[in-house]
Amino acid sequence: MHLTTMSKVKVGAFSISLDGFGAGPRQDINNPLGVRGLELHNWFFETAVFKKIHGQAADMEKTGGTEGFDFHKNDNDIAAQAFENVGAWILGRNMFGPVRGSWDASPENAEWKGWWDDNPPYHTPVFVLTHHARAPLAMEGGTTFYFVTDGVHSALQKAKAASGNKDVRIGGGVSTIRQFLAAGLIDEMHLAMSPVLLGEGEHLFHGMNLHDLGFTSVRTVAGEGATHVFLKKG
């Protein structure tokens, strides 16, 4: 007898500062995650998972392969879990790029294909929330970006249809996660608490009551570069 596993809507390995910010202020082409925002992810940059998904396998071999990153083993193992069983992603437009307004408003907008090279790290369908329609963008490695103009419920419906029985991962940014939380659409969250004080930027939980939204803390794991907190609803 085979039991069917219910798919989940989840936030995985989302980095926040000790003072609750998930991104820095003033995002632009030189600051993809806002000023100082990259500091939130230092724990992730030191993992074999990061090296692998960003095509740095050759560099890993030169430094001894994954064993070269054993000093961040806990962080690496937990980061790897965040990518398991993901059948589709949902991103906000800012996570796709810093360009604003209509996609055909300028050559820069029209030509923008994301922060990544031709092979983004998703390898699944990715649904991007935006106010401006754009044709789907097929990339290498199985990633296709679909641009959704009619809100979070529509994006989730499309992502679930594309993911089959696998999970849908809400990749961010902060505004997107907050929208899904407010709509009661997230089942579980894994937050990586980085030992950083940003002081300003985009606050993940400002004005939100996670307890009233039904979340409880179910597990905490000390990583080498971050403390990993797991929350579930229900």
- DSSP codes of every residue in 139-203: -GGG-EEEEE-S-HHHHHHHHHHHHTTSEEEEEE-HHHHHHHHHTT---EEEEEE-S----SSEE
The pTM assigned to this predicted structure is: 0.92
Find tokens 């044709």 and name the residue: 135
206 Cβ contact partners less than 8 Å away, ≥ 6 residues apart: 20
Residue 223: how many CB atoms within 10 A of its CB?
22
Q: What is the pLDDT of residue 72?
A: 82
Domains, the chain: 9-22+34-97+170-233 (3.40.430.10)
Residue 75 · residue 84 · CB < 8 Å: no
Q: What is the pLDDT of residue 61?
A: 53
CA 217 to chain CA centroid, nearest Å:
20
Q: What is the pLDDT of residue 2?
A: 42
Residue 112 in 3-state DSSP? coil
Residue 125 · residue 146 · CB < 8 Å: yes
Q: Which two tokens stand for residue 220?
A: 């905490």
pLDDT in tens, the chain (234 residues): 344 457 899 999 999 999 999 999 999 999 999 999 999 999 999 999 998 887 665 455 555 545 545 668 999 999 999 999 999 999 999 999 999 999 999 999 999 999 998 999 999 999 999 999 999 999 999 999 999 999 999 999 999 999 999 999 999 999 999 999 999 999 999 999 999 999 999 999 999 999 999 999 999 999 999 999 999 998
